Amino acid sequence: IGLMPTAGRTFAGYRLYAESDLHRLRFIKRARTLGFSIKEIEQLLSLWDDRQRASSEVKQLALQHAKALEQKIREMESMRATLTDLARRCHGDNHPECPILEDLAGTSRKATN
């Protein structure tokens, strides 16, 4: 992926990492935990490595990511509401009628109204 520098190797083939590599790895892991993409992490690492950077660039990336997360949250909440409603309307018994499958197929009464 190119986020980490090439590690040295021992004679036995084990990778050798410097302390700075471990800090970089923790940085990458934390950024992934916060949902940043690989491309965004590349940008953040570049900014982290540049000690002359303006913090405004970092803040802008963080705010853009937060905005994207808000949009995803809204979309997921909508999906959850739809699935909860479909599950509520499904009898879940031995009959073949299933509003969930009908909705997925685009044939439900609610989807055609």
pLDDT at 112: 47
pTM confidence score: 0.72
Residue-wise pLDDT tens digits, 19-65:
888 999 999 999 999 999 999 999 999 999 999 999 999 999 999 99
DSSP string, the chain: --SSPPPEE-TTS-EE--HHHHHHHHHHHHHHHTT--HHHHHHHHHHHH-TT--HHHHHHHHHHHHHHHHHHHHHHHHHHHHHHHHHHH---SSSS--HHHHHHHT-SHHHH-
Report the pLDDT value the prediction gives residue 109, as an integer from 0 to 100: 66
* 1-53 topology per CATH: Multidrug-efflux Transporter Regulator; Chain: A; Domain 2 (1.10.1660)
Question: Would you state the structure tokens that stand for residue 45, as one six-digit string?
Answer: 């690492």
Pick from 60, 5, 56: nearest CA to 27: 5
Whether the predicted pLDDT of 6 surpasses 90:
no
CA distance 76 to 70: 10
The two tokens of residue 94 are: 């031995």
